[in-house]
Structure 1
Amino acid sequence: MTTSFYGCLFMCCVIIMLEVASVVLLLAIAVDRFLRVHIPLTYKSTVTQKRSWMVVAICWFTAALLSFIPMFGWHNENTSNGTTQANSTSFQCSFFTASSRSYVVNFIFFSFFIPLLAIMTGLYCYIFLTTRRQLRVNIGAATESHKYYQKEHRLAASLVLVLGLFVVCWLPMFLMHTIILYGPKIEVSSLFIYTGVLLSHVNSAVNPIVYAFKIPKLKKEFRKLCMRVYHDREQQQIDSPKNSRAKDSSTESRSATQESEL
């Protein structure tokens, strides 16, 4: 793709922002599940809709703030032959001709992704241990508390699946770029790199399916949406013959009027 250097860099920053936002939002979900288990009695008064929207806004602001750092200097301004093409209008755009591999590996991967994944792992371990302990305490009892912790346990399992898919899909690409950065003598095949990129795209395609079929509330809303689309399409098919008949009758009436005038 041929574009200007900073245009290419901007597109790379947007891609990084989407990756960072995915991790930050997964952390926000993990914290939300942690609070539901840790403070079940005061959860609804603590996690209000207004505060939830504020957290989502903060997540996206943080993602944008961290992802657009390369626009202010941490980028590859020079090409492999040593000539500066920052102001060129015929720059051949690819991710690592504009973005700095050290920024992606050292800042995004080691300083951001790894710590957040460790925090999420700790939160989900706490959730599973707490829900399992509560289920054992209430074993055999059909109480509201037992149902509550059973529901939270299942939901946490579904969210761990989402987190696991994220790690599986993104980790290979980050590891390959780490090897390229710190092991210049080690040659990484372009086939592996393209496979890593493909996996990262697969993650975006798989997540909606997992959310829709593994999380009960989202599954219910997904069914409502499908039924609404189906009924709207069915209604359009019913209305279309009526509209065509109305048009035919309108055309016939116009013709009759013209004939009477003649």
Structure 2
Amino acid sequence: MTMDIASQVYISLEAIIGVTAIIGNALVLIAILKFPKLQNITNFFIASLAIADLLVGIFVAPLAALSYLGLPEDYLGCVFTNSIVVVLTQTSIFNLVDVAIERFIAIKNPFFYQEHMTKRVAVIMITISWVLAIIIGLVPVFGWNLGPMADNKCAFVAVIDFNYMVYFNFFGFVLTPLIIMFVIYTYIFYIVRQQMAKISALEVMQKPDTRKLKSRFKREVKAAKSLAVVFGVFALCWIPIHILNSISHLCKTCSYPINLLLAAILLSHINSTVNPFLYAIGNSQFQVAFKRMFCGKSTAGFLDDDFTTVSRARSKGHKRSVDKPSPVHMPNNQYVNKGFTGSNSNIQQSSQNGQVFHIAT
């Protein structure tokens, strides 16, 4: 089969994306398995997301290239091949929702997180996410499709019903979760602003341990920021292809260049290659892990855990006294009545050794 230049470029880029996604996400999974410091609750979800991205490299990129070439010629094989793309997209989205919920609980209610967000709960959430993603993604295989191809030439638009893709998949299980995640992260940073204002108030009172409290809280904030970037990049990579699908389905007279469609498809697959780099940029422990894996660097940097300070201590068997920061001692009760405590705040009151406060992380 003779391919034009555009086809050759597309197939070559899909191959590069597949190899890069496999290598990058395999390194993330190896790092989490090899280094106990990375085996915390948040990274359970990161590992699940990395598995989905790894499978994109193994299956989706090659299958997309085959579909572009009109393969496989078998009808059910073509439906299944194109449905796998949707399955792994849904898995990534649901894992990102899990991460957003986990970060929200860790910052909004750290004591509830400390008590209830266990590895068992994380595994249950991940399992539910994968099961739902598989069911939603394989709906075309179960019968919601366009039927056998007329010329036995496989193509996404030849077998996948765009009523399913636009109304059911995009509006129901892509756009809606993205909006939910946007609301969650917006509220997280609203909480962060409130807490930083309270920490600043403690700094004005020149309390000796405030700097430590601020440092710990900033690590939780940095974790949320890093994961918000992962969410933002996912949206930027996947929204264009869904917009083009919606245009094709909702506007019968509209058209766009085929190269634009191919670029949008490649962009969606590129998302699986960039996530490992985002983890490395956003988490100093991943940076140290990668350095050790390649260069045998010192583990000194492993003292900091940017993604969560709560789950780190639980892995050592401490269920309640999890990585508690030093309290800020208050000389009297006057600050209790000025809004520094409450059920909706991360600044909590302790009765041990007199009137003290600490920010739980």
Which category of TM-score, normalised to the shorter sequence, fits these structures?
0.7 to 0.9
Unaligned residue ranges in structure 1 (runs of 5+): 86-90, 230-262
1:57 to 124, 127, 142: 127
Letter in 2 for 1:125: T
Matched, 1:103 2:173: no
What is the match of residue 28 of structure 1?
98
- Once residues 119 and 139 of structure 2 are traced to their aligned partners in structure 1, the CA distance between those partners, rounded to angstroms, is 31
- Once residues 228 and 70 of structure 1 are traced to their aligned partners in structure 2, the CA distance between those partners, rounded to angstroms, is 48
CA contact (8 A) 2:105 2:112 kept: no
CA contact (8 A) 1:180 1:187 kept: yes
- Once residues 274 and 73 of structure 2 are traced to their aligned partners in structure 1, the CA distance between those partners, rounded to angstroms, is 31
- Once residues 2 and 54 of structure 1 are traced to their aligned partners in structure 2, the CA distance between those partners, rounded to angstroms, is 35
Matched, 1:119 2:189: no
Letter in 2 for 1:44: Q
Shift of 1:153: 1.5
Deviation by residue 1:85-123 (Cα, 9 ceiling, x = unmatched)? 7xxxxx322222121122111111111111111111111
Letter in 2 for 1:169: C
What is the match of residue 160 of structure 1?
228
Letter in 2 for 1:158: S
Q: How does 1:47-86 map to 2 (within 5 A)?
A: 47-79=117-149, 83=150
TM-score (norm 2): 0.58
Q: How does 1:1-262 map to 2 (within 5 A)?
A: 1-79=71-149, 83=150, 91-139=152-200, 140=203, 142-227=210-295
Distance 1:208 1:71, change over 3 A: same
What is the match of residue 244 of structure 1?
none
What is the match of residue 232 of structure 1?
none
Shift of 1:78: 4.6
CA contact (8 A) 1:134 1:146 kept: no
Shift of 1:52: 0.9
- Larger RCO (CA under 8 A, 6+ residues apart): 2
Letter in 1 for 2:99: I
CA contact (8 A) 1:131 1:150 kept: no
Unaligned residue ranges in structure 2 (runs of 5+): 1-70, 298-361
Match of 1:70, SS state, is: coil
Distance 1:43 1:145, change over 3 A: farther
CA contact (8 A) 1:211 1:218 kept: yes
CA contact (8 A) 2:75 2:148 kept: no
- Once residues 110 and 170 of structure 1 are traced to their aligned partners in structure 2, the CA distance between those partners, rounded to angstroms, is 13
CA contact (8 A) 1:131 1:152 kept: no
Percent identity (aligned): 27
CA contact (8 A) 1:30 1:123 kept: yes
Between the two proteins, the alignment pairs up a number of residues equal to 220
TM-score (norm 1): 0.79
Distance 1:29 1:75, change over 3 A: same
- Once residues 224 and 57 of structure 1 are traced to their aligned partners in structure 2, the CA distance between those partners, rounded to angstroms, is 31
Deviation by residue 1:203-231 (Cα, 9 ceiling, x = unmatched)? 111111111221233333333333469xx
- Once residues 172 and 56 of structure 1 are traced to their aligned partners in structure 2, the CA distance between those partners, rounded to angstroms, is 27
- Once residues 181 and 211 of structure 2 are traced to their aligned partners in structure 1, the CA distance between those partners, rounded to angstroms, is 29
Letter in 2 for 1:168: L
Q: Which stretch has the larger CA shift, 45-54 or 27-36?
A: 45-54
- Once residues 228 and 104 of structure 1 are traced to their aligned partners in structure 2, the CA distance between those partners, rounded to angstroms, is 47
